[in-house]
């Protein structure tokens, strides 16, 4: 299960402290212009060490494409790529060789495989998501052809939430601060909270909101290939993701149908549309042409800079004092990862519906 997608498929490989991360993008149509700036920018947005609010592991995160591109265009053949690891410090994890870290994948990987890579989590590390950024950037290049754009931002950190509707926000402003929240005043409060938590040796969670604009009606398949189910699969595969909702989400449980229903109307051009978008752009598992809106909840990072009681592989009680470089809050760096998985999902659904011209 290292492959995501059906027609557009991303397969990733590599471990956090191995020589490189890498992947293969298969099913990418030929003749798509390769936007190297987009690829570079999205990698920088996910890169560790980008601010005082993130892990200080230093990685250049430069991608090397090995195949599938000729004269600046995709060839239709598999796009192979690698991103070399250069900033790993495996010695930081020597004391964890036999320790089971609370809420990490240490025990479950050991239970499944009979062994585990203790160096930074190995395959379970969020380092794997660098490959998703590359795949998502190529998916964005394809989506551009159909006029589809994707914007994500930090909507919540701890108990601090941005409540302004996304339609009233300048979503590009999210890239103007370290938290990636489009409201500067709320962003500052979020940053202060993350700093406070980091200085106490603790961690904190939050939510990322994502909007896809320009998506046509008709994407998604009944019954088990619903658009929201495919999006949820992509989002919940991201490390530390613990929840997914679209449209009104869980708030819909407290609403009445008369308030939640999206009434139909027509545009001046005669196109069918809805008067509201409580459904988040998806009805019956199929996109309806409205903005696709969803949120992803992320748990607090499991590695604390505080002592934690746990056991080792032999069942002996130990006190864990973690070392290394870790995010106090994953949410700011998760923003481009959410965009990448949304892009891969929608590009795959678009290929199934033949929305891209040749």
pLDDT exceeds 70 at position 318: yes
Please tell me whether residue 357 adopts helix, strand or coil conformation. Answer: coil
What CA–CA distance (Å, rounded) separates 214 from 216? 6
Residue 87 contacts residue 104 (beta carbons within 8 Å): no
Q: What is the largest CA-CA distance in the chain?
A: 71
Q: Across the chain, what does the average pLDDT equal?
A: 93
Structure-token pair, residue 212: 């896809």
Residue 5 contacts residue 103 (beta carbons within 8 Å): no
Nearest to 123 by CA among 236, 17, 47, 9: 17
pLDDT interval class at 325 (50, 70, 90): low
Please tell me whether residue 292 adopts helix, strand or coil conformation. Answer: strand
**CATH architecture, range 3-353:** 4-Layer Sandwich (3.60)
HSE at residue 343, side-chain half, CA atoms within 13 A, is 30
- Identify which has the larger pLDDT, 95 or 126: 126
- Domain limits, the chain: 3-353
Q: What is the pLDDT of residue 119?
A: 75
Residue 292 contacts residue 246 (beta carbons within 8 Å): yes
Q: Which residues contact 210 (CB under 8 A, 6 or more apart)?
A: 150, 151, 152, 293, 294, 295, 296, 338, 339, 342
What CA–CA distance (Å, rounded) separates 123 from 115? 12
Listed range (33-42, 79-88, 158-167) with the worst mean pLDDT: 79-88
pTM: 0.95
Backbone angles phi, psi at 67, to 5 degrees: -165, 170
Residues 242-292 pLDDT 10s = 999 999 999 999 999 999 999 999 999 999 999 999 999 999 999 999 999
Residue range 109-137: average pLDDT? Answer: 89
Structure-token pair, residue 123: 């395959």
Scored b (16 or more CB within 10 A) or e, 242-258 reads ebbbbbbeeebeeeeee
What CA–CA distance (Å, rounded) separates 277 from 178? 30
Residue 338 contacts residue 129 (beta carbons within 8 Å): no
Helix and strand element counts for the chain (H, E): 7, 18
Residue range 221-240: average pLDDT? Answer: 97
Residues 17-32 pLDDT 10s = 889 999 999 999 999 9
Looking at 275-316, which runs of residues are DSSP E strands? 282-283, 286-287, 292-298, 308-311
Nearest to 78 by CA among 29, 44, 16: 29
Structure-token pair, residue 213: 């604009």
What CA–CA distance (Å, rounded) separates 203 from 8? 36
Q: What is the pLDDT of residue 90?
A: 63
Backbone angles phi, psi at 117, to 5 degrees: -95, 105
pLDDT exceeds 80 at position 173: yes
Residue range 81-89: average pLDDT? Answer: 85
Backbone angles phi, psi at 64, to 5 degrees: -120, 110
């Amino acid at each position: 299960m290292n492959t995501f997608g059906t027609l557009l498929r991303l397969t990733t490989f590599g471990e956090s402290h191995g020589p490189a991360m890498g992947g293969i993008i298969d099913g990418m149509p030929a003749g798509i212009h390769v936007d190297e700036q987009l690829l570079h920018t999205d990698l920088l947005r996910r890169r560790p060490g980008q601010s005082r609010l993130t892990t200080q592991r230093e990685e250049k995160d430069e991608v090397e494409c090995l195949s599938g591109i000729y004269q600046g265009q995709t060839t239709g053949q598999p796009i192979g790529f690698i991103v070399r690891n250069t900033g790993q410090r495996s010695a930081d994890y020597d004391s964890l060789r036999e320790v089971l870290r609370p809420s990490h994948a240490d025990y479950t990987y050991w239970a499944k495989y009979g062994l585990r890579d203790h160096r930074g989590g190995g395959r379970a590390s969020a380092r794997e998501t660098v490959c998703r950024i590359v795949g998502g950037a190529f998916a964005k290049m394809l989506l551009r052809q159909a006029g589809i754009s994707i914007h994500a931002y930090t909507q919540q950190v701890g108990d601090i939430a941005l409540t302004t509707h996304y339609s009233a926000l300048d979503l590009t402003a999210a890239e103007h601060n370290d938290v990636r929240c489009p409201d500067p005043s709320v962003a500052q409060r979020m940053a202060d909270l993350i700093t406070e938590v980091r200085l106490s040796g603790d961690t904190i969670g939050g939510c990322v909101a994502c909007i896809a604009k320009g998506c046509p009606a008709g994407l998604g398949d009944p019954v088990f290939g619903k658009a929201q189910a495919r999006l949820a699969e992509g989002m919940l595969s991201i490390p530390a993701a613990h929840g997914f909702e679209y449209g009104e989400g869980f708030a819909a449980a407290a609403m009445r149908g008369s308030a939640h229903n999206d009434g139909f109307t027509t545009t001046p051009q005669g196109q069918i549309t809805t008067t509201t978008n409580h459904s988040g752009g998806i009805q019956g598992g199929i996109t309806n042409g409205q903005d696709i809106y969803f949120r992803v909840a992320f748990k607090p990072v499991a590695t604390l800079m505080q002592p934690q009681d746990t056991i080792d592989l032999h069942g002996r009680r130990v006190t864990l004092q973690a070392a290394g470089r870790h995010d106090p809050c994953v949410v700011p760096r998760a923003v481009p990862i959410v965009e990448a998985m949304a892009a891969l999902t929608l590009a795959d659904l678009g290929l199934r519906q033949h929305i891209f011209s040749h």
